[in-house]
Amino acid sequence: MTGLWDGLLLGLGTTLLIWVGAIVVSLVLGVPLSALRRAEHWAPRLIGGAWAALARGIPPIVWIILVFYGLKFGPFQAFPPLAAMVALGVVNSAYVGDAIRAGLDSVPRGQWEAAKATGLGGVVTMGRVILPQAFPIMLATITAYSITLLKNTALASIIGVSEMLYYAYQAVSTGTNPLVAFLAAGVIYLACTVPLGFLARWIETRSVIAVVR
Amino acid sequence: MTGLALSARGIRKRFGDREILRGIDLDLERGEHVAIIGPSGSGKSTFIRCLNLLERPEHGTIDLDGQRVFDATVRGRAGDARRLRRQVGMVFQSFNLFTTHTALENVSLAQRKVLGRSKAEADERSNALLTRVGLAEHAHKHPSQLSGGQQQRVAIARALALDPRVMLFDEPTSAIDPEMRNEVLAVMKDLAAGGMTMVVVTHELQFAELAADRVLFLADGEVVESGTPTDVLRNPRHARTQQFVRAVGGGG
Amino acid sequence: MDWIVDLVERVMGLLPGLWVSLQLTAGAVAAGIPLGFLAGLALQRRNRWITWPIIGLVEIFRGFPALLTLYLVYFGLAGFYPLDAFTSVVIAFGLTTGAYSSEIFRTAIASVPRGQLEAADALGLTSWQRLRTVVLPHVLTIAVPPVIGIVIISFQGSALAYAIGMKELLGSAFSQGMLNFTLIPELLVAAGLYLAVTLALSGMESLAARRARRIAGRGPVAATKNLAATATAA
């Protein structure tokens, strides 16, 4: 029995690693994506829209398999979790990009105009005026999507990455009762996702207050 | 006809520890039109909602055409309120039309479900009613496609569809833009002229003066003054009434 | 020009797999949506003995990765009663879909404007008549867009059935690709098919949302707008 828990905890480490990696990738990709989608010109908007459609329209598992088998060189070969990180990061970038865009759009037009009128430059405007207002809303949405991302790390088990679900699967194939193994893994997933859910909702209520004020 | 169309006695209602209605009496003759006026919080809406039991008074009785339909001391049966509501129609401040149905369906719905009329029968009656309120061409529109004044007229038709003996109006024009109020008031005047027994809670003092037989001024859950429109609105006896009429009348 | 013929051939080859995916989606949705509706209805009650167990179940199936639930059903229940892959997917995704959609229906049912309920009462309708003529049409109108969102998620989730050996779209693409050493092209075509169906469903979702706004007004629809999105976010 202890073998199962040891395995699951080891797997949890990998799960969290992939999760954080994917979040980083999605943030890195999400920022330019949001810029594309908020552009004045139709061409960048179209590209942004296409990217979002691809990222959201293709199932995460398909992305993972495509990246894994498609990028069979160097670091991806040596380190399968990387493929999962990149694939899931790309998928999540669409949601992150949307969250950033929505957050920025939620700041009333008046704020941008007032900043320009008082002669504040672009960077300062962003940093001191716009982001502080947009940030709480962005954070709430991104946190909510991070929960889905955490659950999606389980898909990496299909390409042999030894995260939690993989360990549970292995335990079953070596004789552990499937109900026990998978429920145990489930409990750990819940221990992660439920608090995250509360966090997301808490941030949301606080951000509403901030905006209203 | 057996005398009083509607008789409400000793109506008391509290919400939590606040007593909203402190014992109100109302006797309505058949064909009489009573306007209830008063400041916000006076309990006028609560009172009219007690008349069709949307609010349940803690104390008091209600008789319809001489028959007791409500007694606070008696535990009623589930069907009692429903039976009462077939005889008493209500028009709400916010219209409350069923948004997923067309105007025609709104008017026909209760006829079919409550009175058991066939679709053909109900629709024929509905069309007649919609024509009467001036909305025959709009029968197939959804409420979202109608203006406030139009929606309220459909609401009136819907309430009339069950052939009620008494019609209750809870601030029927308060949520309508001023330009459209007249079309609703015209329908109400028409209804009054036709002999319908009506109780109208309203802010429209001019309408009350022209169309009502009697005016009740409610404040703090009690009837402060009651009489003909001329008495209450032109020559109010109580200071409270004078205060109110002056304040509202000034604004027009 | 050859590549067009090649593309068409590949698409044709994957159609049987796509059909299986669609069947899986239909099964999951047929099982899950009614479950979600009943849960949403039950959650209107104030009785904690009713609402807390339901909330608990909802949180569990929203918190479990869908793949985990699938393994749990396929391998776990197999001890008690041997289940074939298709049924396992329907049960597992039915539970997941039910959990996600319960929040949609709970909000939709709660958003029926009180005034309309009062008007129904004032007309003398019974509770049952009121449910059928006022509550249900309203709920069905505004719940449709986010429910289509759930259908999209189910469709994408059907790809997971590959993990238990079903020959749905991803599985077919994989096996055909391995067979002919053309894995990447097959996967790309499969990805394209997933995208096409998803876009079609998204289009339907937008149309349904526009219709719902037209009929039920902006308020109730806005309340359900983000539900499909955040539903997946546990």
Q: Where are the domains of chain A?
A: 2-212
Q: How far is C136 from chain B (nearest CA, A)?
A: 10
Return the residue in C117, C118, C123 with the most chain B beta carbons within 10 A, the one to mutate for interface testing: C123
Q: In angstroms, rounded to a whole number, what is the distance separating the alpha carbons of residues A139 and C104? A: 23
> Is C26 in CB contact (< 8 Å) with chain A?
no
User: CA angle, C161 as apex, C156 and C163 as ends, to 5°?
Assistant: 120
pLDDT score recorded for residue C229: 46
Q: Is C133's CB within 8 Å of B113's CB?
A: yes
Amino acid making up residue A137: I
Return the residue in B113, B152, B158 with the most chain C beta carbons within 10 A, the one to mutate for interface testing: B113
Q: How far is C119 from chain B (nearest CA, A)?
A: 6
Q: Of chain C residues 144-173, which have a CB less than 8 A from chain A? A: 156-157, 159-160, 162-163, 170
pLDDT score recorded for residue C219: 57
- In this complex, whether B and A touch, counting 3 or more CB pairs under 8 angstroms, is no
Q: In angstroms, rounded to a whole number, what is the distance separating the alpha carbons of residues A174 and A168? A: 10
Q: In angstroms, rounded to a whole number, what is the distance separating the alpha carbons of residues B242 and B235? A: 8
Average pLDDT of the residues in C87-112: 93
* Pick among 1.20.1530.20, 1.10.3720.10, 3.50.50.60, 2.30.30.30: CATH of A2-212: 1.10.3720.10
Per-residue pLDDT of chain A (213 residues; tens, 9 = 90+): 567 888 888 899 999 999 999 999 999 999 899 888 888 888 888 999 999 999 999 999 999 999 988 887 767 777 888 889 999 999 999 999 988 888 888 888 788 788 878 777 777 777 777 777 788 888 888 998 999 999 999 999 998 898 999 999 998 888 888 899 999 999 999 999 999 988 888 887 876 655 554
CB C8 within 8 A of CB C164: no
Instruction: List the chains bordering chain A where 3 or more Cβ pairs fall under 8 Å.
Output: C
β-pair partners for B226: B216
CB C124 within 8 A of CB C155: no
Tens of pLDDT, residues A90-135: 999 999 998 888 888 888 878 878 887 877 777 777 777 777 778 8
Number of domains in chain C: 1
pLDDT score recorded for residue A4: 80
Q: In angstroms, rounded to a whole number, what is the distance separating the alpha carbons of residues B223 and B32? A: 18
Choose the closest CB to C199 out of A53, A59, A158.
A53
> Which backbone phi and psi does C159 adopt, to 5 degrees?
-60, -25
pLDDT score recorded for residue A129: 75
Interface predicted TM-score (ipTM) over 0.95: no
Tens of pLDDT, residues C146-155: 999 999 999 9
Q: How far is A135 from chain C (nearest CA, A)?
A: 18
Look-up: residue for tokens 């947009």?
A134
B180-187 long-range contacts, CB within 8 A, separation 24+: B180/B147, B180/B148, B180/B149, B180/B150, B181/B149, B183/B134, B183/B149, B183/B150, B183/B153, B184/B149, B184/B152, B184/B153, B184/B156, B185/B211, B187/B133, B187/B134, B187/B153, B187/B156
Choose the closest CB to A178 out of C64, C75, C202.
C75
Q: Of chain C residues 187-216, which have a CB less than 8 A from chain B? A: 214-216
Q: In angstroms, rounded to a whole number, what is the distance separating the alpha carbons of residues B92 and C10? A: 63
pLDDT score recorded for residue A208: 65
Average pLDDT of the residues in B223-232: 88
Q: What is the dihedral of CA B141, B144, B145, B150, to 10 degrees?
A: 80
What is the span of the domain harbouring residue C104? 2-232
User: Please, is B18 exposed, middle or buried when counting C-beta atoms within 10 Å of its C-beta (0-12, 13-18, 19+)?
Assistant: exposed
| pLDDT above 70: residue B86 | yes
pLDDT band at residue B71 using 50, 70 and 90 as cut-offs:
confident
pLDDT score recorded for residue C228: 45
Average pLDDT of the residues in B79-87: 88
pLDDT score recorded for residue C234: 26
| pLDDT above 60: residue B58 | yes
* Average pLDDT score over chain C: 87
A179 vs C contacts (CB less than 8 Å) = 72, 76, 79
Q: Of chain C residues 131-170, which have a CB less than 8 A from chain B? A: 133-134, 137-138, 141
Helix (H) or strand (E) holding B215: strand B214-219
β-pair partners for B197: B166
Q: What is the pTM of this model?
A: 0.78
Domain architecture of chain B: domains with CATH: 4-251 (3.40.50.300)
Q: How many CB atoms lie within 10 A of CB A76?
A: 17
CB A171 within 8 A of CB A7: yes
> Is A82 in CB contact (< 8 Å) with chain C?
no
Q: Is A151's CB within 8 Å of C65's CB?
A: yes
CATH assignment at residue C86:
1.10.3720.10
| pLDDT above 90: residue C82 | no
Q: Is B85's CB within 8 Å of C134's CB?
A: no
pLDDT score recorded for residue B104: 95
Tens of pLDDT, residues C28-44: 999 999 999 999 989 98
Instruction: List the chains bordering chain C where 3 or more Cβ pairs fall under 8 Å.
Output: A, B
Q: In angstroms, rounded to a whole number, what is the distance separating the alpha carbons of residues B227 and B213? A: 8
Tens of pLDDT, residues C120-154: 999 999 988 998 989 888 888 889 999 999 999 99
A69 vs C contacts (CB less than 8 Å) = 183-184, 187
CB B170 within 8 A of CB B89: no
